[in-house]
Amino acid sequence: MPDYPLMKLRVVLGPDTMLGPGKADLLQGIDETGSIAAAGRRMGMSYKRAWYLIDTMNAYFQEPVVVSSKGGAKGGGASLTDTGKAVLDCYRQIQRKADSAAQDDLRTLAALAKPGPKNDEA
């Protein structure tokens, strides 16, 4: 269960050029699994949708963020390019710094909310 309150960030680089938690998690999944299918699967995302998001990101940046190879002994694979690694790293830094800067106000906001479902039986 996530630890509330939390923030989700969407970076808008231009009209129709957005990078949010879904795309960032997909990049991280590819980095960790070496596979677009596996990265999508662990997010409950179809292979087609995962490829669509990667194509979209590859078009955003001056260099592609993901490269993939077909076939071969291990059935191909995918990995992040240097640009892909830099994009993911920037996004995570933004998230970390924003979380940290906003912590006090997030708690103040959460204190105004109705209490959530009790977790004390967990």
Please give the residue ranges that form the binding site for a copy of itself (CB under 8 A): 2, 4-15, 17, 19, 59-63, 83, 86-87, 90-91, 93-94, 97-98, 100-102, 105-106, 108-110, 112-114, 116-117
Q: In whole angstroms, what is the distance from residue 30 CA to residue 23 CA? A: 11
Closer residue to a copy of itself, CB minimum distance, 5 or 34:
5
Closer residue to a copy of itself, CB minimum distance, 72 or 119:
119
Taking the complex as a whole, how short is the minimal distance between the CB of residue 44 and a copy of itself, in angstroms?
17
User: For residues 88-115, b (16+ Cβ closer than 10 Å) or e, as one string?
Assistant: beebeeebeeeeeeeeeeeeeeeeeeee
Q: In whole angstroms, what is the distance from residue 64 CA to residue 75 CA? A: 21
Closer residue to a copy of itself, CB minimum distance, 64 or 76:
64
Is the separation of the CB atoms in 22 and 30 below 8 Å? no
Closer residue to a copy of itself, CB minimum distance, 3 or 70:
3
Taking the complex as a whole, how short is the minimal distance between the CB of residue 115 and a copy of itself, in angstroms?
9
